[in-house]
Chain A
Amino acid sequence: MLFTWFTLTGFIFLFSPQNLTNKFQFAFFRFFHWPLSIGRNISLFADTQQPVGDKDVVSRDKYEQLQNRLDNVIQQRDEEHKKVETLSKMRNIPAWDRMGFVLADVITVSIDELRSELLIISHNDSDDCLTKGQFVLYNNSVIGTISDVDGRSAKVRLFTDPSSKIAVKIGDSDDLLMQGSGGNQATISMAKHEVNVGSNVMAGKKTGLLDIPMIIGKVVRCEHNTEPLLWDITVEPVSNIQNVKSVTVHIIIMNPPK
């Protein structure tokens, strides 16, 4: 009898709408925010980076941040050039100036073969600053999108998560669909052209969410698909997402509703 009642409860949870059952998860993370942060800090402590002594040398984290910024600016410059060519006499506002950002703290990081997810809480006091689908940035690169929201808390599905699908571009290619493959990688299956290892992969524009393409990863492998003339491309994040555990790092969410 006990077993039957518990099983019934389990099935109720299973078939309830996810936005309803998510409230239990968000409530747990809000309630245990403090001990969870301690657990993360202990985990971080073991991974503490050595201070850089030479003043001409920057840390890996800072280097990635600057490199991503550079790649984004180059991409933006190219986009602006195209616009200038077609609309040469019209006034144009740089894309970065049109964007809004919300800072958020990371509560938990879950990155393994089965899922790649962050749980964040925004700094903004407003409850409606986060919405599903917004892009999340770290070190000037896209790392994922918001998948569930509950007030100021949200789940971020990283682009390496198996259930994540994001439209991307490599160079001047058409839009390609990139799907996460768990761990720290994502794949673009059956691309029509071969690409060079190390090429930048840019998250495609999405109206209202991402005004300009932004760097998301780099190509680490390009292999022949079983179909002739098609290629399978493996992509890794440009930022070490493990570093998102760093307590000083904030997540930036683009274009929050005003």
Chain B
Amino acid sequence: MRWFRFAALLILATLLQASFFADLNSKPDLLLILLVFFAIYCNTSDAIITSFTIGFAADLIGRTMGPQMLSFGLFGTLLAYLHQVIAIRKMTYQSLAIFTTALLAGTLVYFLNLIKGVSSPPNICAALFGISLYSALVGPFLFLPSAWWMRIKINRLKPR
């Protein structure tokens, strides 16, 4: 794992999410896409570290600290273990993985925010669905530049 490259990519994604994408109503979650990318293409221990670190970055630009770190960490780790059993190589599977992870992670963040006393919008389901859908649509295409930057071979089209 190239940690300096990971740090640079994470900072770039965090800054873009906090500035460029911050005021769009419909937007992909770049950090969640990165979470799925590293969960799929790293070994398990690296995937755990990257998941929690990405969650921490999401908390830095989020409303409160903690919920996303826990949520991203948990689902990133689960996805990394799942990937050992089921290979997530095709773009459609990757989209599905992003969509499901976004929904589950978003739901856990919602409940953790409730514990912390942060109220959520009435249309939380629609908002979560929107973010998950946009992330799933954009995510697999961002895997290619991310893999190039991280010097990871993704072998997407080759049969296993």
Return the CB mask of A25-47 against B: 1 if under 8 Å, else 0.
10011001001111110110000
Contact of A182 with B122 at beta-carbon distance under 8 Å, contacts A14-B70, A24-B60 already known? yes
Question: Contact residues of B with A, CB < 8 Å?
Answer: 11, 15-16, 18-20, 22-25, 27, 45, 48-49, 52, 55, 59-61, 63-67, 69-70, 73-74, 77, 112, 115-116, 118-124, 126-127, 130
Helix, strand, loop or mixed for chain B's interface?
helix
| B126, closest chain A residue (CB) | A113
Query: In the assembled complex, which residues on chain B have CB atoms less than 8 Å from the CB atom of A63?
Result: none
- Chain A nearest CB from B33 CB (Å) reads 17
Give the CA-CA distance A38 to B12 in the complex, in Å.
12
Query: 8 closest Cβ contacts across the A-B interface?
Result: A39-B19, A14-B66, A113-B127, A182-B121, A21-B65, A13-B66, A10-B70, A162-B121
Check if A36 sits within 8 Å of B67, measured CB to CB: no
The answer on a CB contact under 8 Å between B69 and A10 is yes
The minimal Cβ–Cβ distance linking A174 to chain B, given in whole angstroms, is 24
Please tell me if the beta carbons of B119 and A25 are within 8 angstroms of each other in the complex. no
A183 in contact with B69 (CB, 8 Å): no
Knowing A6-B52, A14-B116, A162-B120 are in contact, say whether A36-B19 is a contact too (CB < 8 A): yes
- When distances are taken between beta carbons in the complex, the residues of chain B under 8 Å from A49 are none
- In Å, the complex CA distance between A111 and B24 comes to 7
Contacts A10-B66, A25-B65, A181-B121; A110 near B23 (Cβ below 8 A):
yes
How many A residues face the partner with a CB closer than 8 A? 45
Whether B67 contacts A14 by the Cβ 8 Å rule is yes
28 A-B pairs within 8 Å (CB atoms) are namely A10-B66, A13-B59, A14-B64, A14-B116, A18-B65, A18-B116, A24-B60, A24-B65, A25-B65, A28-B60, A32-B15, A36-B15, A38-B19, A39-B15, A39-B16, A39-B20, A40-B20, A43-B23, A108-B61, A109-B22, A112-B24, A112-B25, A113-B124, A114-B121, A115-B121, A117-B63, A183-B25, A242-B23
Contact of B48 among A3, A16, A32, A163 (CB under 8 A): A3
> Once the chains are docked, how many angstroms separate the CA of A171 from the CA of B48?
56
Using Cβ atoms and an 8 Å threshold, which residues of chain B touch A9? 52, 69
Q: Which residues of A contact B64 (CB under 8 A)?
A: 14, 18, 21
B109 to chain A, nearest CB (A): 9
Q: For the complex, what is the distance from the CA of A114 to the CA of B16, rounded to whole Å? A: 18
Residue in A7, A37, A42 whose Cβ sees the most chain B Cβ within 10 Å = A7
B18, B49, B52, most chain A CB atoms within 10 A: B18
Nearest B residue to A165 via CB reads B119
A150 to B41, CA, bound (A): 39
Task: Report yes or no: A110 in contact with B121, Cβ–Cβ below 8 A.
Answer: no
B15 close to A6 (CB less than 8 A): no
